[in-house]
């Protein structure tokens, strides 16, 4: 039988897991959990530490380890382990396409979850507007949650459980994980999506000019951002669609040249000091910008 992933060495494996340690777990606690998980199939934590060569605690949860295929199969049967795949970093040069496999499997997993979430909504019989009213979110953000395009926050989870009584706890847990935000490139072929894209492209230059005129040289954030869709009556009495984009203004930063001496500090932070009376920068912080719940705003 031909190998499922031709070209892989089958000695380096990527183990993808549910978020270890629960909500609020530190990076070190996650890494400890990875070590303990691998130790169950290699005999000891010391041996597990030797075999792990990389970890991920952000976009996805998991680790890379040097094991054989039989051991990887044992790992897949352990609690918390989602799947094991040959690590795409260790593919022979003539096989360049394997890296797509992990993305495809994650997309398939996402599609499966979205299908189940849509079935729960359909059975409940409530509209996105009704769910938005009961959760205090915007209707678009509720749709994003059910399509795994947004993360369910801990304070909002009880409200969503109450609004969707048939929502299984395992899906709530899945929704509280950082999602793989993605879209099908063929989505543009849908007439509704095509027209929305056309409207933004057609009016884009004028919108940019007004943003620059009113705010300065900057952009509208799509992270600190609210989006909603409303149905209203026009002056002719006919139905109209109102799409609201409400994003924080973010100015472009001037990139000033500095001469610095670096001193390593905490993660994502570098402290610098003045050198020979040249420009001094005290702190550079490159912390990640969080994604916000799109709470319904009362005007």
Q: Which of 47, 112, 195, 269 is catalytic?
A: 195
Residue 105, φ and ψ in degrees, nearest 5 = -65, -40
Q: Which of 46, 76, 198, 269 is catalytic?
A: 198
User: Would you say 216 and 251 are in contact if contact means Cβ atoms under 8 Å apart?
Assistant: yes
Among this protein's residues, is 133 annotated catalytic? no
- Residue 6 CA from chain centroid, whole number: 29
Residue 106: closest CA among 130, 124, 85, 90: 85
The residue assigned the tokens 């499922």 is 4
Tell the burial category of 152 from Cβ atoms under 10 Å away from its Cβ (0-12, 13-18, 19+). buried
Residue 124, φ and ψ in degrees, nearest 5 = -65, -35
Counting Cα atoms < 13 Å in the Cβ hemisphere of 111 gives 8
Among this protein's residues, is 276 annotated catalytic? no
Query: Cβ atoms within 10 A of the Cβ of 4, count?
Result: 11
The residue assigned the tokens 């890296």 is 99
Q: Which of 134, 147, 177, 221 is catalytic?
A: 221
User: Would you say 156 and 137 are in contact if contact means Cβ atoms under 8 Å apart?
Assistant: yes
What token pair was written down for 126? 């409530």
Query: Cβ atoms within 10 A of the Cβ of 16, count?
Result: 18
User: Would you say 176 and 154 are in contact if contact means Cβ atoms under 8 Å apart?
Assistant: yes
**What is the dihedral angle through the alpha carbons of 126, 127, 129, 131, rounded to the nearest 10 degrees?**
40
Among this protein's residues, is 44 annotated catalytic? no
Counting Cα atoms < 13 Å in the Cβ hemisphere of 255 gives 0
3-class secondary structure, 46: helix
The residues assigned a catalytic role are 195, 198, 221
């Amino acid at each position: 039988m031909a190998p499922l992933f031709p070209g892989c060495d089958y000695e380096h494996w990527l183990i993808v897991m549910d978020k270890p340690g629960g909500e609020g777990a530190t990076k070190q606690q996650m890494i400890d959990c990875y070590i303990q998980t691998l130790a169950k199939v290699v005999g000891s934590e010391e041996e597990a530490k030797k075999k792990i060569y990389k970890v991920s605690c952000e976009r996805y949860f998991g680790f890379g380890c040097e094991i054989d295929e039989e051991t990887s199969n044992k790992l897949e049967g352990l609690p918390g382990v989602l799947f094991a795949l040959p690590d795409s970093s260790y593919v022979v040069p003539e096989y360049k396409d394997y890296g797509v496999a992990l993305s495809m499997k994650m997309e398939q997993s996402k599609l499966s979850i979205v299908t189940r979430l849509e079935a729960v909504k359909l059975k409940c019989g409530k509209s996105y507007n009704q769910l938005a009213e009961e959760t205090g979110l915007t209707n678009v953000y509720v749709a994003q949650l059910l399509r795994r395009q947004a993360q369910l926050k801990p304070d909002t989870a009880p409200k969503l459980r109450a609004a969707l009584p048939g929502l299984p706890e395992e899906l709530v847990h899945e929704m509280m994980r950082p999602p793989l935000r993605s879209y099908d490139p063929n989505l543009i072929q849908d007439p509704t999506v095509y027209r929305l894209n056309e409207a933004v492209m057609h009016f884009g230059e004028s919108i940019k000019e007004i943003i620059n005129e009113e705010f300065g040289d900057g952009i509208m954030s799509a992270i600190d951002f609210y989006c909603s869709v409303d149905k209203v009556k026009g002056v002719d009495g006919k139905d109209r669609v109102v799409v609201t984009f409400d994003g924080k203004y973010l100015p472009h930063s001037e990139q000033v040249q500095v001469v610095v001496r670096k001193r390593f500090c905490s993660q994502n932070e570098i402290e610098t000091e003045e050198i020979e009376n040249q420009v001094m920068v005290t702190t550079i912080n490159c912390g990640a910008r969080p994604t916000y719940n799109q709470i319904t705003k009362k005007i």
